[in-house]
Amino acid sequence: MDIRQAAQRNLRERLSDNPYPGRGLVLGLDEKAKFLIQVYWIMGRSENSRNRIFATDGTRVWTEAADPAKCKDPSLIIYNALRELEGVFVVTNGDQTDTICEAVRRGGTLEDALGTRAYEPDAPNFTPRISGIFDLRQKPTGVFKPAFTPFSATLSLLRRSAFGDATDRFYWRYEEFDPGLAYCITTYVGDGNPLPSFEGEPYLVPLVGGPGCIANAFWAALNDDNKVSLCVKAIDPVTLASEVVILNKHEKKA
C-alpha cells in the first residue's frame, strides 16, 4: 500500500468509521502545491457541546453559541480556534490559541506557550489540548515548491498522564509535505465513557481539490449525529493571504 492509499484508508477507518474522534486538526498542502491548508472541526455529544457554530472575520475563526439561551457553560466551548499574526497561523481546540499568539508576539515559541498549559479539566474525560501552527516568517525565494524548507509546521498534543495528574507533552515538527496530503490529530480515538484520548502519532489524510472541496470531504467523513462545525483555511505562503471556508450544522439564533 502506497502513502496515498494509506491516507485514504486513514480517512475511512479513523474518521468515517469512527462515531466520535472528537475535535480534529489537519495541517497539509493542497494537491496543486499552491496553498498550505489548516482544517479544524468540532463535535459534540451533549446539548451544550452541540449548541455551537463557527464564525469568522476572514482571518480569525471562533466558536459561538448557536442559541445563546441554551448555553450553560461557555468555559471550554467558546474560544478563538484560528488566529494569525504576520507569518504565523495558529489553530487549536481551546483558548490556548490566545496563549500561543501572545507568546509568539513576545518572541516566544509554541513550546514556550504550551509549557504553561495542560489538558482540559473536564473530568472524567480530561480532553487533550491539540494545537497546530504554520510558521512562515522565513520568506521563500523564487517559486514556491512543495518541499518548503524555509517553513515549519508543528502539531502538539497535551494529554493527561496514565500515571496521575501530570501532563504528557508531544510535539511533531514537519518541514515538508507532499501535495494533496496532510497530517491529522484528534482529541479521541473513538467513543466511550470516559472518552479515550488520542494515541500514537498524527496520521496522513488526503486533501483533494480546493478549500470548499476539502471542507466537504471532511464534513462528509464525520458522524452525522455528532459533527457540529468545520472550517478550512487556505494560506498563500508567498503573500500570506488566506481564505476561510466554514460549514455549520446549526444556524445562529438571535
Q: How far apart are the first and last CA of the chain?
A: 51
Torsion of CA 100, 92, 205, 169, to 10 degrees: 60
**What pTM, to 2 d.p., does this model score?**
0.94
Written as nine digits, the cell of 54 is 463557527
Question: 178-223 pLDDT, tens per residue?
Answer: 999 999 999 999 999 999 999 999 999 999 999 999 999 999 999 9
8 Å CB contact between 28 and 49? no
Q: How far apart are CA 40 and CA 56, in angstroms?
A: 13
CATH number belonging to domain 3-248: 3.60.20.20
Q: Give the DSSP H or E segment for 62.
A: strand 61-65
- Model pLDDT for residues 228-246, shown as the tens digit of each residue: 999 999 999 989 999 999 9
Distance CA 90, CA 110 (A): 9
Question: For residue 139, what pLDDT band results from cuts at 50, 70 and 90?
Answer: low
Whose CA is closest to 215, among 30, 56, 78, 51? 30
DSSP letters along 22-39, please?
A: -SEEEEEE-TTSS-EEEE
- Would you tell me how many other CB atoms lie within 10 Å of the CB of residue 122? 13
Rounded CA separation 154/53 (Å): 26
**Domain parsing of the chain, residue ranges:** 3-248
Q: What is the mean pLDDT of residues 144-164?
A: 78
